[in-house]
Structure 1
Amino acid sequence: MHQPNNYTQAVTCALGLAAALATSAPAWAQARYPVTAAQRATAEQTAAKGIPEAELAANAPDTYVVKRGDTLWGISGMYLKRPWRWPELWGMNMQAIANPHLIYPGQTLYLERNNGMARLSTSRNGSTDVLRLSPRTRAESLSDLALPTLKPHLIEPFLVEPIIVDADTLEHAPRVVATTEERVLMASGDKAYVRGDPAKPLLRAPGEPRRFQIYRNATALKDPVTGEILGYEAQYLGKADLLRGEGLEESADDKGGVQADYVPATVQITSVKEEIRAGDRLLPAPARAFTSYTPHAPQVPIDARVVSIYGSSPVAYAGQNQVVAINRGIHDGMVPGQVLQILTKGERIVDKTDPERATIKLPSERNGLAMVFRTFDRVSYALLLQINTGVRVGDRLTNPTN
């Protein structure tokens, strides 16, 4: 793999972190990692050169017409031995990693080779590539047509499901108290009654949330190295829409007077991953974000550990296309699209060939790749892209290498 000199490494490292923080980190973090104009210019010039031809995949095509069903990761693997070097091949500057070039079905990609370096573009010899869209009966934004990073069914459910909260968030969230037909377990299409916190009732007023996600059991996520609690992961159950807010309802009492009774809010359960019951909690559904981020290697050193395997049923090992939580987040420079190398945790064994029966630790072995797709302050979620053996809590994730 091409090794830049120390100055270029330092520039790229600083610029990459600043670009990563620019879109997802708080203001204090942006101020902490300033980038000078000279540093930015140097890094952008380096990126624009592309990559050495030796980094290309053996059968990288000179031209390729993007098709529906393609993904950025798939095309990256078509052109590169190391797909995480996609931004360099595409000639992206570091700022563009957080806001990548959009690639659409119907575009032609051209592989340019010059003086041992290779770049990819949508134009040949400086000509303008015209994107031809087929006629449609409804309007669509270009962002809706752009290639996703991965096959949508692999990642879309996890873009809104996992949530990290503090210790008190679920305790004070609106809770399911009953159903319309006194069912113990609720399914999609059922109506349920929900009671909010007295200080913040659940109202169907302008500006108030109308769509919610339903959760249970905020489980502490502990750093496998330090034992520190990084946050609480809530178990996702399903979705619900608010039909009627909670409030008071007046009715006649036995003495001919009028009494005001509390009436809970009414929601309709619109989808269910697991059965819902009284006591489960509602949190406002997050807005759906555009997710065609670019797969790329982190520009800062990363040394992370697997904290948990996502899912309600505990398992010892995660397989390919499963999701894991790791002990690094926004505060550590993590951004969606970063590709990490997975290392198995080496076992401690007794050396039976040693008369003293000494205990030794086997080395960590490379086990595949994972991509970060959702970040919180101190925790991130990553999809296991390709692995050789099962991944478990405590396994290490680092910057990808050869």
Structure 2
Amino acid sequence: MFQRIIPLLLGLSFAGMVQADTLKLRDDAPARYVVKRGDTLWAISGRYLSSPWRWPQLWQMNRSEIRDPHWIYPGDVLVLDRATGKLHLEKGQRVVKLSPQIRVEDSDAIRSIPAARIAALLKRPLVVEQAEFTAAPRIIAGADDRVVLAQGNTAYSQPLDSAGVWQAFRAGKELKDPDSKESLGFEVIYGGDLAVTDLGTTVSTLQVKSSVEEIAIGDRLIKYQTVPVLNYVPHEAPAAMGGKVVSIYGGVADAAQYSSVVINRGARDGAELGYVFGVYKKPRSVKVDGKEVTLPAPEISQLFVYRVFDKVSYGLLLDTTQAVNVGDTLGQPE
């Protein structure tokens, strides 16, 4: 899924650093860095820039001109020439086994952001409009009188319109805009995957293939949709977009680094994959000598948008310095 990784051209350049006020090399940037398994482009760029989300500028990305991209892999070496302000890539040795019937995939290439943190959340609807959810077919019975189904169990549902894999969900909490109070949809709770064994005409038959939560009679079924391969290129969200954190995935009160959060900006607002926001503490006031004084609202994290719905988006928190909470605001990243 994460195999189209951001390309890195040989002879990567800091030519864009003429804009020194927007792209500044760290004083402690390493002269040489050996890429390691588990690195991300965000983390590697953080060794060279105070604002790692600016890596497209750091590496002078111009995807329209890339015809034969070179990927960055464990063992490759980044070499910084401070005299010229250029960063070069020395390719390490990489052994790949080939066969006539197998196409080599870039499974070892370095990811843009931690893939494991969001992989599961790319396979599920997560947010569904109420009307769409209530119209989805229901599980109506199991093979016996049990109300909770486990892996291997048979399930019966209202008629389905296609074979294949369906996912079981139950209703979660409603998401509301903290300012307008508009309903932004319902977070749905994923139960597991079921495969159709008989479509039928009035009742469909399925078998539970996997479960991460209880799958119960009455749960709704949504057809599994394969997620296209995405190339997450970070770019700054418009200054005027703003927004707020409306929910923390998993139901925890405090979100830490690599947590997923929901924001009240979606496709209808112009949100895009790869947008980077600064996350700022919700403004807080205290009384001093009988007067209200508003405390500074520092940037406490940066949010990387990786999934966009109509009214909301999901983002991964990166470089977090303190807990992020519902109501914290979004602005330009520093």
- Corresponding position of 1:183: 146
What are the residue-to-residue correspondences of 1:18-33 with 2, within 5 Å? Answer: none
CA 1:57/1:370 → structure 2, altered by over 3 Å: closer, same or farther?
same
Are 2:239 and 2:331, in contact at CA under 8 Å, matched by a contact in 1?
no
Return the offset for 1:90.
0.5
For 1:301 and 1:48, the matched residues in 2 are separated by 29
For structure 1, list consecutive stretches of 5 or more residues without a partner in the other structure. 1-46, 124-128, 205-209, 248-261
| 1:283 pairs with 2:222 | yes
Return the offset for 1:93.
3.1
For 2:107 and 2:92, the matched residues in 1 are separated by 18
Q: Looking at CA atoms only, which structure, 1 or 2, has the larger radius of gyration?
A: 1
Return the offset for 1:193.
1.2
What are the residue-to-residue correspondences of 1:235-274 with 2, within 5 Å? Answer: 235-247=189-201, 262=202, 264-274=203-213
Q: Which residue identity lines up with residue 92 of structure 1 in the other structure?
A: M
For 2:179 and 2:274, the matched residues in 1 are separated by 25
> Which string of whole-angstrom CA distances, capped at 9 and with x for unpartnered residues, describes residues 18-69 of structure 1?
xxxxxxxxxxxxxxxxxxxxxxxxxxxxx98233687223333344443332
For 2:86 and 2:236, the matched residues in 1 are separated by 17
Which of 34, 37, 51 aligns to 1:82? It is 51
Return the offset for 1:228.
1.8
Which of 310, 315, 332 aligns to 1:377? It is 310
CA 1:280/1:304 → structure 2, altered by over 3 Å: closer, same or farther?
same
Aligned to 1:161, what secondary structure does the other structure show?
Answer: coil
Q: Which residue identity lines up with residue 397 of structure 1 in the other structure?
A: L
Are 2:14 and 2:87, in contact at CA under 8 Å, matched by a contact in 1?
no
What are the residue-to-residue correspondences of 1:93-112 with 2, within 5 Å? Answer: 93=62, 102-112=71-81
Pairwise CA RMSD: 3.0
What are the residue-to-residue correspondences of 1:152-171 with 2, within 5 Å? Answer: 152-171=115-134
Are 2:54 and 2:235, in contact at CA under 8 Å, matched by a contact in 1?
yes
**Number of residue equivalences:** 316
Return the offset for 1:88.
0.3
Return the offset for 1:299.
5.7
> Which string of whole-angstrom CA distances, capped at 9 and with x for unpartnered residues, describes residues 228-263 of structure 1?
22333222222222222122xxxxxxxxxxxxxx4x
Return the offset for 1:218.
5.4
Q: Normalized against structure 2, the TM-score is what?
A: 0.82
> Which string of whole-angstrom CA distances, capped at 9 and with x for unpartnered residues, describes residues 308-358 of structure 1?
1122xx443223322110011223332223322110112244x2x42xx44
State percent identity of aligned pairs: 38
Return the offset for 1:142.
3.6
Are 2:77 and 2:92, in contact at CA under 8 Å, matched by a contact in 1?
no
For 1:379 and 1:316, the matched residues in 2 are separated by 19
| 1:50 pairs with 2:9 | no
- Corresponding position of 2:169: 215
Q: Which residue identity lines up with residue 134 of structure 1 in the other structure?
A: V
For 1:348 and 1:134, the matched residues in 2 are separated by 59
Q: Which residue identity lines up with residue 272 of structure 1 in the other structure?
A: S
What are the residue-to-residue correspondences of 1:113-132 with 2, within 5 Å? Answer: 113=82, 118-122=85-89, 132=94
| 1:388 pairs with 2:327 | no
Aligned to 1:168, what secondary structure does the other structure show?
Answer: helix
CA 1:142/1:131 → structure 2, altered by over 3 Å: closer, same or farther?
farther
CA 1:139/1:170 → structure 2, altered by over 3 Å: closer, same or farther?
same
Return the offset for 1:133.
3.8
Are 1:214 and 1:280, in contact at CA under 8 Å, matched by a contact in 2?
yes
Return the offset for 1:89.
0.7
Are 2:98 and 2:104, in contact at CA under 8 Å, matched by a contact in 1?
no
Are 2:169 and 2:189, in contact at CA under 8 Å, matched by a contact in 1?
yes
Aligned to 1:181, what secondary structure does the other structure show?
Answer: coil
Q: Which residue identity lines up with residue 232 of structure 2 in the other structure?
A: Y
Aligned to 2:218, what secondary structure does the other structure show?
Answer: coil
What are the residue-to-residue correspondences of 1:61-80 with 2, within 5 Å? Answer: 61-80=30-49
Are 2:139 and 2:219, in contact at CA under 8 Å, matched by a contact in 1?
yes
CA 1:303/1:220 → structure 2, altered by over 3 Å: closer, same or farther?
same
Q: Which residue identity lines up with residue 194 of structure 1 in the other structure?
A: S
Return the offset for 1:394.
1.2
Which of 244, 266, 284 aligns to 1:347? It is 284
Bigger mean CA deviation after superposition, 151-160 or 171-180 = 151-160
For 2:265 and 2:128, the matched residues in 1 are separated by 15
Are 1:83 and 1:295, in contact at CA under 8 Å, matched by a contact in 2?
no
